[in-house]
C-alpha cells in the first residue's frame, strides 16, 4: 500500500497529554542530566533540593507536543523509518507538571527517490485558555517509499559560519542510555532489540535521535542560555548519522546575538545532528 497522500493538511482530533514532576525528572536523566556530576543540574533532576525549584529541560517539549494522526499513513516496514528532522518553538517555559491539548497534521510528503520524507506539525495549547505553548515540526524518512514522482520538497540554505566555533561542549552518553530514555515513552525496538536493529541494517541498537537531540539541547541551554529555560525559544536540527549508546557527543556552537548555529558530532568527527539552529532570548 503506498503512502496516503490524502492526509496532507488534514488536522487531527485534539488529544490531551499530561505529565508529572516525575516524568520531567525521568526525561532529564534520560538525556544525560547529572551524568558527570550528580549535583550539577539539580533544578532538572530533583524536585526537593533546598533552595532549588524544579525546572524542565526545553527539549521535553518535543515529547509533549506529540499528537495523534488524522488517519493511517500507509503500510510499510517500521524498521525502514528513521527520524530525519526535528524543530520546536517554546511559547513559554514548561511547568514541572501540567496538561496540553495537541492537534497535528501532515504538512507534506516528499519524494526523495530512495524514500519518502513525511513532514508533520503539531500545536500544543493550554487546554483552559487555548494559548499556544509549543509548536513542533518533525519529519521522518521512510526508505523504499520514494519514486512516486512527487515534489522533492523545499531546500534550506544553512551553512557553517566561516570561523571557529564560539563554544565547543562534549557530553558522553552511557551504554544503557537508550534503555533509560525509552522509559519516557519511545519504545521503538530499534533502540533496544538487537534483532530489530539488524533488520534496519545496524550492528546493534542505536540511540534515539531525540535522545541525541536532548543532549544537544542541554549543551545549548547551559552554554548560551545561562541554564535558564525561559531564555530558550526555539531549536531545530537534521539527524544525519546514527549514534550508539556509549558514544561521546560534541556540540559546536556559533553565536550571533539571539541566533545560534550548531552541529553535533561523534569522536570520529561524524556529524550526527546537522543544520542546527537555536534562538536564545536575551
Q: What is the mean pLDDT of the chain?
A: 94
pLDDT above 90: percentage of residues in the chain: 80
Asked whether the predicted pLDDT for residue 70 surpasses 80, the reply is no
Q: Mean pLDDT throughout 192-210?
A: 95
pLDDT above 70: percentage of residues in the chain: 99
Local confidence band at 226 (pLDDT 50, 70, 90 cut-offs): very high
Q: What is the pLDDT of residues 122-132, one digit of tens each?
A: 999 999 999 99
Output the pLDDT for position 76.
Answer: 84
Active site residues: 186, 191
Q: What is the pLDDT of residues 16-54, one digit of tens each?
A: 999 999 999 999 999 999 999 999 999 999 999 999 999
Alpha-carbon span 121 to 107, nearest angstrom:
7
Half-sphere exposure for 226 (CA within 13 Å, toward CB):
7
115 in Cβ contact with 200 (< 8 Å): no
Output the pLDDT for position 67.
Answer: 80
- Superfamily holding 5-280: Hotdog Thioesterase (3.10.129.10)
Closest to 189 (Cα-Cα) out of 175, 174, 200: 200
For residues 246 and 200, the model is more confident at 246
Lowest mean pLDDT among 26-40, 137-151, 178-192: 137-151
Local confidence band at 144 (pLDDT 50, 70, 90 cut-offs): confident
Half-sphere exposure for 30 (CA within 13 Å, toward CB):
27
Output the pLDDT for position 82.
Answer: 83
Output the pLDDT for position 151.
Answer: 78
Amino acid at each position: 500500500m503506498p503512502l496516503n497522500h490524502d492526509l496532507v493538511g488534514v488536522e487531527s482530533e485534539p488529544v490531551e497529554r499530561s505529565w508529572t514532576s516525575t516524568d520531567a525528572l525521568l526525561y532529564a536523566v534520560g538525556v544525560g542530566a547529572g551524568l558527570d556530576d550528580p549535583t550539577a543540574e539539580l533544578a532538572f533532576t530533583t524536585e526537593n533540593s533546598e533552595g532549588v525549584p524544579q525546572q524542565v529541560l526545553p527539549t521535553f517539549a518535543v515529547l509533549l507536543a506529540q499528537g495523534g494522526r488524522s488517519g493511517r499513513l500507509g503500510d510499510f516496514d517500521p524498521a525502514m523509518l528513521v527520524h530525519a528532522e526535528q524543530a520546536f518553538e517554546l511559547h513559554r517555559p514548561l511547568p514541572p507538571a501540567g496538561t496540553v491539548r495537541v492537534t497535528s497534521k501532515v504538512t507534506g510528503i516528499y519524494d526523495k527517490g530512495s524514500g519518502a520524507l513525511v513532514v508533520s506539525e503539531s500545536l500544543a495549547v493550554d487546554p483552559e485558555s487555548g494559548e499556544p505553548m509549543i509548536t513542533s515540526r518533525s519529519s521522518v524518512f521512510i526508505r523504499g517509499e520514494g519514486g512516486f514522482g512527487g515534489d522533492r520538497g523545499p531546500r534550506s540554505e544553512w551553512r557553517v559560519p566561516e570561523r571557529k566555533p564560539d563554544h565547543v561542549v562534549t557530553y558522553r552518553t552511557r551504554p544503557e542510555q537508550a534503555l533509560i530514555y525509552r522509559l519516557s515513552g519511545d519504545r521503538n525496538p530499534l533502540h533496544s532489540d538487537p534483532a530489530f536493529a539488524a533488520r534496519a541494517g545496524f550492528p546493534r541498537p542505536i540511540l534515539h535521535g531525540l535522545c541525541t537531540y536532548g543532549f544537544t539541547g542541554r549543551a545549548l541551554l547551559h552554554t548560551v542560555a545561562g541554564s535558564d529555560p525561559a531564555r530558550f525559544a526555539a531549536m531545530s536540527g537534521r539527524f544525519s548519522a546514527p549514534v550508539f549508546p556509549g558514544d561521546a557527543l560534541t556540540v559546536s556552537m556559533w553565536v550571533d546575538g539571539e541566533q545560534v548555529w550548531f552541529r553535533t558530532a561523534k569522536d570520529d568527527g561524524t556529524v550526527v545532528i546537522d543544520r542546527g539552529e537555536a534562538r536564545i532570548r536575551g
